[in-house]
Amino acid sequence: MTPEQYVQQKAAASGSSFYYAFLFLPRERRAAITAFYAFCREVDDVVDEVTDPGVADTKLSWWSSEIAKTFAGAPTHPVTQALAPHLQPFGLRQEQLQAVIEGCRMDLTQTRYLDFAGLARYCHLVAGVVGEVAARIFGQTEDATTQYAHKLGLAFQLTNIIRDVGEDAMRGRIYLPISELQQFDVKAHEITQRQYSERFAALMRFQAQRAHQLYDEALALLPAADRRAQRPGLMMASIYRTLLREIEADGFQVLHQRTSLTPLRKLWLAWRVQALGRM
């Protein structure tokens, strides 16, 4: 299996909304974003699949070293071998990839966040930076597009947090800020024991409202000159926001299930943005 085949398989197997947006890109950009996404999946899987925190930390340290080697011209892993040819053409920086690893490492030591400011720091590393890199690969020409991409990445991450509340709780993590749990009088044990209440629903409506606001703010920041190039991001926004609305319509039944869209629906949402240029 070639490095290119490896990253393609990694991206396709995830079933992620991102994969459907990549399908409409020109070949070189598609190869670059697929390799970068496969890297993100690799380091994220370390945290989700390795049960021993010490082993997971060692694996993340290996990835940190591998990224340094890659930028020095000596990649050894199929993912970094696939990514290496695209670093210079798309202006990718080592500190960006190291930031993603740092964000994943936070999951090994921090399972709760006191307030939204603390959560936002985590989201910056695991989603905002990812958005910035993706925007460069998609064809960013305006500096203002970085701010759009970062804010859109934050909206995606908050949507993920809403969708995965129950699943994350089973892993011992609650990303909803403690201050906001207290604000709505929702106890941590109610989440881990999958206890629904009107208080929990109100908390989740608050989370969803903030995510929607971030989507609106991000879209308002996208310069007109970059709108066409950034269509893959708009495709992802359409898919993720549709998912968020599905969760809302279902009454935030996220403690015992993981809401998802069918592959066909994701493809249709992506195609609609490609064909019509709007969400």
10 and 121 both lie in a single domain: no
198 and 64 both lie in a single domain: no
11, amino acid identity: A
Across the range 137-145, mean pLDDT stands at 94
Residue range 149-170, pLDDT digits in tens = 999 999 999 999 999 999 999 9
pLDDT value of residue 22? 84
163 and 151 both lie in a single domain: yes
The tally of domains found in the chain comes to 2
Residue range 216-238, pLDDT digits in tens = 999 999 999 999 999 999 999 99
96 and 132 both lie in a single domain: no
Last residue of a domain, one of 43, 74, 109: 109
* Spatial distance between the Cα atoms of 211 and 216, rounded to a whole number of angstroms: 9
3-class secondary structure for 124-182? HHHHHHHHHHHHHHHCCCCCHHHHHHHHHHHHHHHHHHHHCHHHHHHCCCCCCCHHHHH
Residue range 165-196, pLDDT digits in tens = 999 999 889 999 999 999 999 999 999 999 99
130 and 244 both lie in a single domain: yes
> What confidence category does residue 14 fall into, taking pLDDT thresholds of 50, 70 and 90?
low
Last residue of a domain, one of 109, 141, 158: 109
Q: Extract long-range pairs of 196-202: CB within 8 Å, 24+ residues apart.
A: 196/253, 196/255, 200/252, 200/255, 201/251, 201/252
266 and 151 both lie in a single domain: yes
Residue 278 has pLDDT above 90, yes or no: no
* Cβ proximity of 254 and 247 under 8 Å: yes
Handedness of CA 150, 151, 157, 160 (dihedral sign): negative
127 and 260 both lie in a single domain: yes
237 and 135 both lie in a single domain: yes
Last residue of a domain, one of 87, 109, 131: 109
User: What average pLDDT does the structure give for the chain?
Assistant: 93
DSSP class per residue in 217-228: HHHHHS-GGGTT
Residue range 234-258, pLDDT digits in tens = 999 999 999 999 999 999 999 999 9
Residue range 76-115, pLDDT digits in tens = 999 999 999 999 999 999 999 999 999 999 999 899 999 9
79 and 125 both lie in a single domain: no
Q: Which two tokens stand for residue 84?
A: 């290496």
- Show the domain range for 237: 112-278
237 and 118 both lie in a single domain: yes
142 and 266 both lie in a single domain: yes
CATH number at residue 57: 1.10.600.10
pLDDT value of residue 279? 60
43 and 116 both lie in a single domain: no
* Cβ proximity of 22 and 30 under 8 Å: yes
What does the buried/exposed string (b/e) look like for 218-232 if buried means 16 or more CB atoms within 10 Å of the residue's CB?
A: bbebbeeebbebbbb
pTM (predicted TM-score) = 0.91
